Structure 1
Amino acid sequence: KRGDYTPREDFYRTWLEYKRGFGDLQRQFWLGNDRLSILTNQDSYRLRVDLEDFDAQKRFAEYSAFRVSNEADKYRLILGSYLKGDAGDSLVTQNNMQFSTKDQDNDANSGYSCAQVYNGAWWYNACHSTNLNGGYLRGPHPTVYAAGVNWFTFRGHYYSLKTTEM
């Protein structure tokens, strides 16, 4: 969960911090990859992603299945099909990818670490069409490609969203 709160939670963190989770459950937080793995492997779950921009436009995307593997498999993201929503399917390239942080590069980009370049932690491919754990920028950022909290099929790579929730 991300939002326009003060003080702002820093999401550019280490593998261990993402493993354990961090933040304030009432405001901004990451539940923890260990918890996500345990929870999503107990039963079948859908994933809904809610997004809002700085113009108060709200969008969502829903997927038929959602699972995160264990740490031995680098918390791989396993999604079912895109079911519905008006945000578009920006997780399509992240499906079946392992989680990456600034200190653990598990993305499919052989040239550089997507987490380091885009100041985040995510299921990067080479690199992303969504980056909900990117640096918190406020809305448009026309000179900085793919930075910020973005969902490509909603506002593109040059816009950082106000709030996101999975």
Structure 2
Amino acid sequence: MEEAGLSSRGERTERSPSTGDYNLKINMEDFDGNQRFAKYKNMKVDDEKNQYKLHLGEYTGNAGDALPEAHPSPSGQWNSLGAGQQGVKFSTYDHPNKDDEKCIRHDMSGWWFSKCESGNLNGHYYNGSYQAVMDDGVVWYTWHGWWYSIKSVVMMIRASDVHPAGSN
């Protein structure tokens, strides 16, 4: 099994899927015990030279598509993570990408930022049901908006040709 991950400093923790032959599943739970998920086909993470740019294919799930779609920011302006075909680069405090420095200072995390908001699963963890004053928490806009910090998140990557027993 091939696993991958990036630390909050953007360091590779294992091998990174760079072929696009991977699926990403994100499981989320709020503080009331409600659970949601987001799945993306053809997930690809570029190499270090390309700043771990994230590309995502087709979305399915019940959490809403907070990564590649455009969403209004809290100020009312529309923005997009842009993690579709063109992708978006991974940024950290010490390695910000174009236009990401404000997001990193504001959200205090490493993530695939583009205008900060729609989804940040590496945000500040608030221990308890907390409606944040700032949208710096663990945010999935299409489920709970910007101001709610999610209780738990698990991101799983699997080769697209691997199927669990009993599935199609």
TM-score tier by shorter-chain length is 0.7 to 0.9
Determine which of 111, 115, 118 is the counterpart of 2:107: 118
User: 1:76 aligns to what?
Assistant: 53
Report the structure, 1 or 2, having the larger helix content. Answer: 1
Q: Distance in 2 between matches of 1:97 and 1:91?
A: 10
Unaligned runs of 5+ in 1: 1-11, 21-31
Q: Which amino acid aligns with 1:147?
A: D
User: 1:56 aligns to what?
Assistant: 33
Structure 2 residue 128 is matched with structure 1 residue 151: no
Following superposition, the deviation at residue 108 of structure 1 comes to 3.6
Structure 2 residue 11 is matched with structure 1 residue 19: yes
Unaligned runs of 5+ in 2: 1-6, 69-79, 156-168
- Residue pair 2:20, 2:43 contacting (<8 A) in 1 also: no
Following superposition, the deviation at residue 55 of structure 1 comes to 0.4
- Between Structure 1 and Structure 2, whose CA radius of gyration is higher? 2
Q: Residue 143 of structure 2: SS of its match in structure 1? A: helix
CA displacement, residues 103-148 of structure 1 (integer Å, 9 cap, x when unaligned):
1111445xx431121111100001230110011113332422x211
RMSD over equivalenced CA pairs, Å:
2.1
Q: Which amino acid aligns with 2:65?
A: D
Aligned length: 134
Percentage identity across aligned positions? 37
CA displacement, residues 86-108 of structure 1 (integer Å, 9 cap, x when unaligned):
10000113301100001111144
Q: Distance in 2 between matches of 1:52 and 1:107?
A: 32
Q: Distance in 1 between matches of 2:118 and 2:98?
A: 13
- Residue pair 1:107, 1:114 contacting (<8 A) in 2 also: no
**Which 4+ runs in 1 deviate beyond 6 A?**
none
- Residue pair 1:105, 1:113 contacting (<8 A) in 2 also: no
Structure 2 residue 51 is matched with structure 1 residue 90: no
User: 1:160 aligns to what?
Assistant: 149
User: 2:92 aligns to what?
Assistant: 101
- Residue pair 2:131, 2:147 contacting (<8 A) in 1 also: yes
